[in-house]
């Protein structure tokens, strides 16, 4: 007699077959597990309306597909989410071996699983989180040194050496609110309306879409209140033309150096967005699962809304679970147009 727990029959399964097949395991009508096995004879199979009823009759759940447990992907996502929490709560950098041991995995397996789920290595994730703590602490700390050590950096020298990558500027300048940072920008026109492209020496820091060029400039000023905004020259306008060309012809591709500024969580989301290929989409729930936080769907949506670099960080490729288009910072009609063009390309 079959020892697997079943709830209802499935007409698509031919129970008279005598070859190896895939046997589905159900709970209240929903498929929860799949196991490769030879089908039992009809006279040796009993059907029950629930797992509980089958277990009360002496059956047990399949030990191979474990239909009563979470799927392997769900278990992996929960494991990585716990590891992220350990990193975020630690005052000192955690060694890879320590994180792997806490997860019950080998360092090699843990490292590979962590990177696959978050898009970052454990060290890169820890660095991004510490950078976020520094950004939040610098404006209010009495000294720059205090902010550096409170964020978990072990030395001033090491932090200052990496400050341009961490902050996009020196700590002192960041503490002053980005004062005197030069941002070049230019405005072009495309079939979706006006488009503003802005960049620091490090890379593109904003791509904005809209109907009113002046409103786009005001948005840039609000985002970088103390920066020095400089109109782009002919060389910079070439960059704008490249972005416009991608909007009109997505098949051209867009590979730009970016100056991405956001929290560690936002950067994880934005990195996952850049892994969605042109012409494809993903739901907010799928993005949450990819970064190792399957329950953070609302936070993922907020990170998408905070994105200031349109098309290069393609938040327009994120849709609702039912396949419908959700909100878009630059208008749902533009989102629909971008997706339609990418599918045609």
DSSP H or E stretch at residue 287:
helix 284-290
* CA atoms lying within 13 Å on the CB side of residue 166: 28
d(CA 177, CA 173): 7
Q: Is 84 an active-site residue?
A: no
Q: Which residues contact 161 (CB under 8 A, 6 or more apart)?
A: none
Tell me 310's DSSP state.
Answer: T
Measured CA angle at 42 (ends 41, 46), to 5 deg: 110
* Distance, CA of 212 to CA of 292 (rounded, Å): 39
Residues 292 and 88: their CA atoms lie apart, in Å, by 14
Alpha carbon distance 195, 243 (integer Å): 9
> Please, which contacts does 22-27 make with residues 24 or more away whose CB atoms are closer than 8 Å?
25/61, 25/62, 25/65, 25/67, 26/67, 27/51, 27/67, 27/68
At 227 the three-state DSSP class reads coil
Half-sphere exposure in the Cβ direction for 110 (13 Å, CA): 22
φ and ψ of 306, to 5 deg: -85, -5
Number of H helices, E strands in the chain: 14, 8
- Tell me the catalytic residues: 315
């Amino acid at each position: 007699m079959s020892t697997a727990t079943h709830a209802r029959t499935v007409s698509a399964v031919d129970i008279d077959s005598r070859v190896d097949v895939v046997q589905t395991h159900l709970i209240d009508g929903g498929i929860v597990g799949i196991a490769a096995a030879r089908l039992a004879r009809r006279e040796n199979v009993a059907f029950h309306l629930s797992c509980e009823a089958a277990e009360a009759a002496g059956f047990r759940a399949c030990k191979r597909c474990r239909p009563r447990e979470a799927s392997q992907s769900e278990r992996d996502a929960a494991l990585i989410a716990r590891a992220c929490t350990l990193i975020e709560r630690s005052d000192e950098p955690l060694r890879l071996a320590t994180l792997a041991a806490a997860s019950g995995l080998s360092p090699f397996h843990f490292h590979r699983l962590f990177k696959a789920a978050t898009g970052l290595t454990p060290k890169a994730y820890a660095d991004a989180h510490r950078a976020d703590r520094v950004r939040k602490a610098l404006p209010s700390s009495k000294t720059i040194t205090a902010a550096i050590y409170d964020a978990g950096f072990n030395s001033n020298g090491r932090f200052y050496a990496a400050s341009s990558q961490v902050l996009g500027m020196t700590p002192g300048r960041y503490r002053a609110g980005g004062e005197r940072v030069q941002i070049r920008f230019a405005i072009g026109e495309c079939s979706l309306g006006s488009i503003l492209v802005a960049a620091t020496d490090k890379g593109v820091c904003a791509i904005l879409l809209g109907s009113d060029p002046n409103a786009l400039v005001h948005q840039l000023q609000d985002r970088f209140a103390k920066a020095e905004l400089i109109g782009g020259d002919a060389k910079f306008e070439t960059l704008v033309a490249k972005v416009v060309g991608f909007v009109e012809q997505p098949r051209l591709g867009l590979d730009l150096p970016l100056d991405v500024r956001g929290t560690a969580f936002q950067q994880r989301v934005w990195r996952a967005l850049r892994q969605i290929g042109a012409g494809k989409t993903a739901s907010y729930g799928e993005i949450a699962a990819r970064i190792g936080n399957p329950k953070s769907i609302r936070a993922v949506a907020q990170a998408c809304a905070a994105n200031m670099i349109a098309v290069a960080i393609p938040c327009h490729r994120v849709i609702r679970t039912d396949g419908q288009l959700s909100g878009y910072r630059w208008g749902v009609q533009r989102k629909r147009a971008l997706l339609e063009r990418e599918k045609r390309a």
